[in-house]
């Protein structure tokens, strides 16, 4: 069984994001970039399935500038067998990403696609669902546990009321949540081996996908700073502040 995993390059989660002075976007110059944490979980889960003998090959895919190859090499160091880079310098929205991934799926014919439930840069949480819809495949989102056997994927997913378990006939799309696993650190020998693993390029033109986005970000701004809290002497003062200052009663 072949597994396809999506990998996105994002600003590292430890970095404080700063908005550009003109409000056109966020500052990425000289900023540490890394693999989207949810995608890292997806790579780890795919590699674990291969180690269990469930999967025979893990293919990592990333869409974006040439710098994305750094994150693909990280996926290869974690245990992916080969990688595919789709070069695209223009903006990418969820639908464009889903269409490009669909084209790769049709070319590679995997039985399972695992991607992060969302990217920490746009928090869209749409690509996996759109991909499943375009392919006409079953989907298990927000997976906290995944079991694959006998042509089915059983996904335990987190919902507001607790957990829900769904059973999907393969091929299927699964999106990962935080509690699915804890990604491994790539060892130095595996990092060295990753340099020799295949990394192919497939352009949107070769895949026959138009990359025009349907959504445009008009402006970016940082959250407004909140005022600090204060102490009150007694209940009467609290009620007075709630009524006259907060105006909630």
Report residue 18 as tokens.
Answer: 């700063």
Please report how many Cα atoms fall inside a 13 Å half-sphere around the Cα of residue 91, on the Cβ side.
13
Query: What percentage of the chain carries pLDDT values higher than 90?
Result: 73
Measured CA distances, 67 to 9, 73, 155 (Å): 8, 11, 33
Given a cut of 90, is residue 81 above it in pLDDT? yes
Q: Which residues pair with 174 in a beta bridge?
A: 114, 140
* 138-148: burial string, b at 16+ Cβ within 10 Å, e else: bbbbbbebbeb
Q: What pLDDT, on a 0 to 100 scale, did the predictor assign at position 225?
A: 82
Confidence of residue 28 (pLDDT cuts 50, 70, 90): confident
Given a cut of 80, is residue 90 above it in pLDDT? no
Q: What pLDDT, on a 0 to 100 scale, did the predictor assign at position 149?
A: 94
**Phi, psi at 117, each rounded to 5°:** -65, -25
Edge-to-edge strands, sheet with 82-87: 162-169, 152-159, 138-149, 172-176, 112-116, 2-6, 57-64, 82-87, 199-201
Q: Which residues pair with 165 in a beta bridge?
A: 156
What the chain holds in terms of domains, given with CATH numbers, is 2-244 (3.40.50.620)
Tens-place pLDDT, residues 151-167:
999 999 988 888 899 99
Given a cut of 90, is residue 68 above it in pLDDT? yes
CB 115 within 8 A of CB 127: yes
Q: Which residues pair with 148 in a beta bridge?
A: 153
Confidence of residue 192 (pLDDT cuts 50, 70, 90): very high
Given a cut of 90, is residue 3 above it in pLDDT? yes
Tens-place pLDDT, residues 118-151:
999 888 999 999 999 999 999 999 999 999 999 9
Given a cut of 80, is residue 23 above it in pLDDT? yes
**Other C-beta atoms lying within 10 Å of the C-beta of residue 182:** 9
Confidence of residue 227 (pLDDT cuts 50, 70, 90): confident
Please report how many Cα atoms fall inside a 13 Å half-sphere around the Cα of residue 27, on the Cβ side.
12
């Amino acid at each position: 069984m072949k597994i396809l995993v999506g990998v996105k390059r994002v600003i590292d989660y430890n970095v404080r994001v700063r908005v550009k002075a003109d409000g056109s976007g966020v500052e990425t110059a000289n900023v540490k970039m890394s693999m989207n944490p949810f995608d890292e979980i997806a790579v780890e889960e795919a590699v674990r399935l291969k180690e269990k003998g469930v999967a025979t090959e893990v293919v990592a895919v990333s869409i974006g500038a040439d710098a994305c190859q750094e994150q693909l090499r990280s996926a290869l160091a974690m245990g992916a067998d080969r990688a595919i880079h789709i070069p695209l310098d223009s903006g990418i929205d969820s639908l464009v990403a889903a269409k490009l991934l669909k084209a790769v799926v049709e070319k590679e014919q995997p039985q399972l696609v695992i991607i992060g439930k969302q990217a920490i840069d746009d928090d869209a949480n749409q690509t996996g669902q759109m991909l499943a819809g375009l392919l006409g495949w079953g989907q298990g989102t927000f997976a906290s546990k995944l079991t694959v056997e006998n042509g089915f994927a059983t996904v335990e997913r987190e919902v507001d009321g607790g957990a829900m378990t769904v059973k999907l006939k393969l091929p299927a799309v699964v999106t990962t949540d935080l509690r699915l696993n804890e990604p491994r650190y790539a060892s130095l020998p595996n990092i060295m081996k990753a340099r020799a693993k295949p990394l192919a390029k497939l352009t949107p033109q070769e895949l026959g996908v138009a990359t025009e986005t349907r959504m445009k970000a008009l402006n970016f701004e940082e959250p407004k700073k909140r005022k600090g809290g204060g102490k009150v002497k007694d209940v009467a003062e609290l009620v007075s502040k709630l009524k006259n200052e907060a105006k909630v009663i």
